[in-house]
Chains A and B, each alone.
Chain A
């Protein structure tokens, strides 16, 4: 899986790292490395990518770019890909739309979009290619919509152009949903606009009426304004207000009670009574309150929808980053790139080191090691040679292999796993929000009170009985009650997003506020998910020799060494040879160097003066021999994140029952569990994705308390979907992003604590809001029962309660991390 960079979808947060000491790159303004400075040259470049980008711009007279104050400070590193799969039939069918005038249109997700000058580059430069008609960038989501003439220029050419500027393009995999959402958003906006305009104008009429109420107003004017109000409120009810009636109807049909039910009841009764009173020419009309109520409720709903939308967008964009191409080998031996969607069983595919397998199949040539952690959670690489069955989604680590495709696309193991994920997601019963749970009692109480009011007044003063009962129904229309949850939740979701926590559904927050069982995946969640050098015993002079051999190996051990010593100068190595499952040997500075597994190295060297101590359990041991003598030993492993222990302790203090569930070897899982000070029974290793799903489902059956699954891989996805709340963590696989209710963009478990903390605070705000709105309703209901409710009091009570809730939600500090 590609490393997922949070900055990729938070362009405004681009880090400014520029140690500008010596010479600055003309294109990106970063420091030019010493070896690349050209004395006397007017323009200096930190890399060939920047030079190429500069040449494109300069050649076409676009030097204006360099005049912009805010520029992307990141060197351009073109991927060198040909993007030929972009021209393939299957790709075009999936992502490209034909326009009526013969042009084609595609939505591309660009990496590296960061600031204003990116907009300028992306919208100008592709137009230099003949045949490209337009390129529009949406900066918030880094989406570029390109229109071009397919007969004049292939899409791959456009893609290469964007790539050479440092914006590698990916097809946007959410076009269908995007169009649906856009329609929904627009419809919601229109409803808000219409109801807002109506509410404002009814208020004007209402002011005239209230002003004339005390001071004497000619009856014909009063009549006129009452009719104007009726005329205005009618469209507000039948157009924007219709969604409440639709919601209430749907709830009644499924025999559940939703907040829409009391709202629709209040609206309907208020409107009917107001209309009757207008025609009768006596008694209160409630139109101003009703119109305002519709408007406020719609705004609350829109805010909530937008917050959840933004979170879902973030996950979808990450999904677009997954590799989409496979290298198919034709009968004549030539290789070509095709989209993964076009693979068929029986095809031969070449997979280079560092690439992800595009389909399930059998290795026909080559020997390599595969990282299967995506599927199994196993942190150690697995060997694969001719005849080995391999699966889509695993990563080839060390050398090229050829795979005969057996199952591609929907029938691959990953895809089947994902189908399971979808199913368990569908089976999940929706969490009923607190406000909706209250709606049931609320309707019952209000109706009972209305009956009581009617009976009492029927005895005391029958003429006023109907009026007072109806006034009670109207004044208790639960505007503030219906607003309280969406407002508090949408504010919390917005604040959380700024803190790097994407919450896709408000009900997740309510669930998280009650402690339950929290199941953590190990690889990538509690640990860093990357092999790192944990233990090193040996002299310093050996280090450059090790790095020289490991310089261009995709093996995790090599990556671990490189990450541990990033600043060492690396001498060139020659005659280096990779031995499968063993290690690497070669010559550096004319010395024979062997790095690898103990058995491999001991077979090629004698024990020297230096005898490395045993490495800790759970680590991969590596020995280094120089000129036939063992000189150093190292232990590499997947280290526990530094803040994990403190975070777990914090969660347990809050009452959460924290457990580890991993596909990795039980010994490794237990070691991690000890590092986190978890009780002995809390760690389970060797769990397949199916096992994980079973564990979560059983935990949910056994206890009504919430079960939270935190994970990062496809192997966790089914469990995440089945949990009460699924949390995906930084760098996770796209399947995990798609099913998780919450996605944490910052690495580690610290954000998890913040999430639980924020959820608790949000629940407190919701409860406070509910209390306020109930208080207002008690006041209103008492006044109505006493027969003391006049239209002015009703008109003041309704907006005042809503405003209290708005202010209370606005001021609440739910998530703190939003410093950006």
Chain B
């Protein structure tokens, strides 16, 4: 049973990694627009545009 001392911290590390991934995705704007990508992929048959999201405009730059 002593394996719990290793398994539980390991599981917590996995959780930490998942949370970090989520935070990263949220801050990169992956959840900003949930409608258009679903529609866009319908048309991306012959031509793919693997473009990253544009960088956020710096505040007050408009």
Which residues of chain A from 121 to 154 have a CB within 8 Å of any chain B CB?
123, 134, 136-140, 145, 147
Among residues of B, the one whose C-beta sits closest to the C-beta of A117 is B43
Asked if residues A193 and B26 are in contact (CB atoms below 8 Å), the reply is: yes
Q: Is A26 an interface residue (CB 8 A)?
A: no
B-contact bits for A158-185, CB 8 A (1 contact / 0 none) = 0000000000000000011001101001
Given A105-B57, A190-B26, A193-B26, A94:B62 Cβ within 8 A: yes
How far does the alpha carbon of A68 sit from the alpha carbon of B42 in the complex, in Å? Answer: 10
A441 interfacial by beta-carbon distance below 8 Å:
no
Residue of B nearest to A231 (CB): B12
Tell me the chain B residues, 1-23 only, with Cβ under 8 Å from chain A.
1, 4-5, 8, 11-12, 15, 18-19, 22-23
Question: Could you tell me the distance between the alpha carbons of A136 and B1 in the complex, rounded to whole angstroms?
Answer: 55
Contact A97 B36 (CB under 8 A): no
B33 touches A193 (CB 8 A): no
Residues of A contacting B55 in the complex (Cβ-Cβ under 8 angstroms): 99-100
Q: How far is the CA of A145 from the CA of B38 in the complex (A)?
A: 18
Interface digits, A715-750 against B, CB 8 Å rule (1 contact, 0 not)?
000000000000000000000000000000000000
Contact B61 A140 (CB under 8 A): no
B18 and A197 contacting across the interface, CB-CB below 8 Å = yes
CB contacts (< 8 Å) of A179 on chain B: these are 56-57, 59
Among residues 204 to 254 in chain A, which have CB atoms less than 8 Å away from a CB atom of chain B? Answer: 218, 221, 224, 228, 231-232
A194 at the interface (CB under 8 A from B): yes
Expressed in whole angstroms, the Cα–Cα distance for A94 and B18 within the complex equals 40
- Tell me, in angstroms, the Cα distance from A96 to B57 when the chains sit together: 11
CA distance A337 to B12 in the complex (A): 62
Per a CB cutoff under 8 Å, which of B15, B26, B35, B62 touches A140? Answer: B35
Asked if A182 meets B36 with Cβ closer than 8 Å, knowing A98-B61, A194-B23, A232-B12, the reply is no
Chain A residue at minimum C-beta to C-beta distance from B42? A116
Separation in Å of the A200 CB from the closest CB of chain B?
A: 8
B62 touches A186 (CB 8 A): no
* Count of A-B contacts judged by CB separation below 8 Å: 87
Q: Is B54 at the interface (CB under 8 A from chain A)?
A: yes
Q: Mark A73-92, 1 if CB is under 8 A from B, else 0.
A: 00000000000000000000
- Are A140's CB and B57's CB within 8 A? no
Residues of B within 8 A of A98 (CB): 61
Beyond A105-B57, A179-B59, A197-B15, is A186–B27 a contact (Cβ under 8 Å)?
yes
Query: Within 8 Å CB of B36, what residues of A?
Result: 119, 136-140
Q: Which residues of B contact A117 (CB under 8 A)?
A: 43
Instruction: Please state if B61 and A190 are interface contacts (CB–CB under 8 Å).
Output: no
Residues of chain B within 8 A (CB-CB) of A176 are: 60, 62
Q: Does A120 belong to the interface (CB within 8 Å)?
A: yes
A116 touches B39 (CB 8 A): yes
CB-defined interface of A50-75 with B at 8 Å, one 1/0 digit per residue? 00000000000000000010000000
Assess whether A95 is interfacial by the CB under 8 Å rule: yes
Cβ-neighbour of B15 out of A147, A201, A224 (below 8 A): A201
Whether a CB of chain B sits under 8 angstroms from the CB of A189 is: yes
Assess A193 versus B23: contact at CB under 8 Å? Given A105-B57, A116-B42: yes
A147 to B54, CA, bound (A): 9
User: Bound complex: CA of A185 vs CA of B12, how far in Å?
Assistant: 27
Contact partners of A180 in chain B: CB under 8 A? 59
Question: Is chain A's interface secondary structure helix, strand, loop, or mixed overall?
Answer: helix
Chain A residues contacting B11 (CB-CB under 8 Å) are 201
**Are B39 and A119 in contact, with the CB atoms below 8 A?**
yes
Report the minimal beta-carbon distance from B39 to chain A, rounded to whole angstroms.
Answer: 4
Report the separation of the CA atoms of residues A210 and B59 in the bound assembly, to the nearest whole angstrom: 50
B33 and A140 contacting across the interface, CB-CB below 8 Å = yes
CB pair A193 B19 closer than 8 Å: yes
Residues from chain A with a CB closer than 8 A to the CB of B1 are 218, 221
Let me know if A228 and B8 touch, CB within 8 A: yes
**Complexed CA–CA distance, A224 and B8 (Å):** 10
Neighbouring B residues of A138 by C-beta, 8 Å:
33, 35-36
CB distance from B35 to the nearest CB of A (A): 5
Name B27's closest neighbour in chain A (CB-CB): A186
Contact B4–A134 (Cβ < 8 Å): no
**In the complex, what's the smallest C-beta–C-beta distance from A51 to chain B, in angstroms?**
23
Which residues of the partner chain B approach A193 to less than 8 Å between Cβ atoms?
19, 22-23, 26
**Chain B CB within 10 A, most for which of A145, A182, A186, A194:** A186
B 25-48 binary contact with A (CB < 8 Å = 1; else 0) = 011010111011001101100000
User: Does A189 contact B61, Cβ atoms closer than 8 Å?
Assistant: no
Chain B residues near A197 (CB-CB < 8 A): 15, 18-19, 22
Q: Among the listed B4, B12, B31, B40, which residue makes an inter-chain contact with A221, where contact means beta carbons less than 8 Å apart?
A: B4
Type the 1/0 row for A666-709, where 1 means its CB is closer than 8 Å to any CB of B.
00000000000000000000000000000000000000000000
CA distance A100 to B59 in the complex (A): 14
**A140 CA to B32 CA in the complex, in Å?**
11
Residue contact A120 to B43, C-beta cutoff 8 Å:
yes
Inter-chain CA distance A228–B18, complex, in Å, is: 18
Assess whether B35 is in contact with A139, with CB atoms less than 8 Å apart: yes
Closest-by-CB residue of B relative to A94 is: B62
- Chain B residues, Cβ within 8 Å of A145: 54
Residue of B nearest to A98 (CB): B61
Q: What is the CA–CA distance of A176 and B18 in the complex, to the nearest angstrom?
A: 32
B57 CB, nearest partner CB in chain A, Å: 5
Most buried by B among A68, A180, A189, A224: A189
Asked whether A186 lies within 8 Å of B19 as measured between CB atoms, the reply is no
Contacts of B39 in A (CB 8 A): 116, 119, 139
Is the Cβ of A175 less than 8 Å from the Cβ of B43? Answer: no
In contact, B62 and A95 (Cβ under 8 angstroms): yes
Complex alpha-carbon distance, A221 and B11, angstroms: 16
- Output the nearest chain B residue to A143 by Cβ-Cβ distance: B33
- The 3 nearest A-B residue pairs measured at CB: A120-B43, A116-B39, A193-B22
Can you list 13 residue pairs at the A/B interface with Cβ under 8 Å? Answer: A100-B55, A119-B40, A136-B54, A138-B33, A138-B36, A139-B39, A176-B62, A185-B32, A186-B31, A193-B23, A194-B19, A197-B15, A224-B5
Inter-chain pairs besides A136-B36, A176-B62, A194-B23, 5 sampled, C-beta below 8 Å: A134-B54, A139-B39, A175-B62, A221-B4, A224-B4
